[in-house]
């Protein structure tokens, strides 16, 4: 049997640690195809990641959900839309909601994900009870999603509802009332009347409202 050379001689734990620093999923996919040892190393590196960003990556529901499922230590996930970015639907959010890491997530960005609806968001929020930061701007969610966030995210500190034109005053009032740790809310581009903001400040005087 030939002796392993160079990087192939590294212990699996160290190899996985190196792969953690590779942010490009294209590069990880190529590394994964090198050999069985590297394939195991890439999989193990996912389990150590605390942050994943899919912004700008061409990925679908199945691919994103599979990666998240292996990221056991995940705390921060960014699935924001960009010109050539990923597209995720309610089906993808449902699959992500089943991952073991979801209850430990502290930050989620679904900015611009027009393919998701209340159905997927409600399912995801039902398991994110550690969530502190949420960006769901540019989507078509309604008060139904806000009610789910209010009921399941007691540690929420910041929420971006930029251009969410289907949310109403009622949804915002419930959200601010129940999320007692909320510090900042971005409601720019919504159709909520200006008078509503006074009501929000009455509930939480220190709340920063971005309009």
Local confidence pLDDT in tens for the 211 residues of the chain: 444 556 667 766 677 767 777 766 667 777 777 888 878 878 888 888 888 888 767 778 888 888 898 888 899 999 887 645 567 899 999 999 999 999 999 999 999 999 999 999 999 999 999 999 999 999 999 999 999 999 999 999 999 999 999 999 999 999 999 999 999 999 999 999 989 999 999 999 999 999 9
Looking at the structure, do residues 44 and 55 belong to the same domain, yes or no? Answer: no
Phi, psi of 170 (to 5 degrees): -60, -45
Residues 75, 177: one domain? yes
Which residues are 160's β-sheet partners?
135, 186
> Domain with 20 in it: what CATH number?
1.20.1280
Number of domains in the chain: 2
Residue 43 and residue 132 share a domain:
no
Q: What is the CATH number of the domain that holds 120?
A: 3.80.10.10
**What DSSP state is assigned to residue 142?**
B
pLDDT at 8: 67
Q: Where are the beta strands (DSSP E) in 6-74?
A: 51-53
Whether 144 and 175 map to the same domain: the answer is yes
Query: Which DSSP category does 99 fall into?
Result: S
Do 69 and 141 sit in the same domain of this protein?
yes
Structural domain including 144 reads 50-209
On whether the CB atoms of residues 113 and 88 are closer than 8 A, the answer is: yes
Q: Closest Cα partner for 167 from 183, 185, 189, 191? A: 191
Same domain, 37 and 57: no
Neighbours of 87 (CB within 10 A): 16
Q: Are residues 75 and 153 in the same domain?
A: yes
pTM given for the model: 0.85
Indicate the helix (H) or strand (E) that contains 15.
helix 12-20
111 and 76 fall within a common domain: yes
Q: Clarify whether residues 67 and 145 are in a common domain.
A: yes
Q: What is the reported pLDDT for 1?
A: 43
Give the C-alpha separation, 26 to 122, whole Å.
Answer: 31
What pLDDT, on the 0 to 100 scale, is given for residue 99? 94
pLDDT of residue 54: 80
130 and 181 in a single domain? The answer is yes
């Amino acid at each position: 049997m030939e002796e392993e050379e160079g990087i192939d001689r590294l212990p699996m734990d160290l190899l996985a640690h190196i792969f953690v620093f590779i942010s490009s999923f294209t590069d990880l996919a190529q590394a994964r195809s090198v050999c069985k040892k590297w394939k195991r190393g890439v999989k193990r590196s996912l389990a150590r990641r605390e942050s994943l960003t899919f912004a700008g990556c061409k990925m679908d529901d199945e691919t994103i959900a599979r990666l998240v499922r292996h990221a056991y230590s995940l705390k921060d996930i960014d699935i924001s839309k960009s010109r050539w970015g990923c597209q995720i639907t309610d089906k993808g959010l449902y699959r992500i909601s089943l991952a073991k890491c979801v209850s430990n997530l502290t930050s989620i960005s679904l900015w611009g994900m027009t393919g998701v609806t209340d159905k997927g968001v409600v399912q995801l929020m039902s398991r994110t009870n550690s969530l502190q930061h949420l960006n769901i701007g540019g989507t078509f969610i309604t008060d139904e999603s806000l009610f789910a966030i209010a009921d399941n995210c007691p540690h929420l500190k910041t929420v971006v509802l930029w251009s969410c034109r289907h949310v109403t005053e009622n949804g915002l009032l419930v959200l601010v009332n129940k999320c007692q740790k909320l510090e900042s809310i971005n409601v720019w581009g919504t159709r909520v009347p200006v008078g509503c903001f006074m009501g929000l400040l009455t509930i939480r005087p220190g709340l920063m409202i971005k309009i």
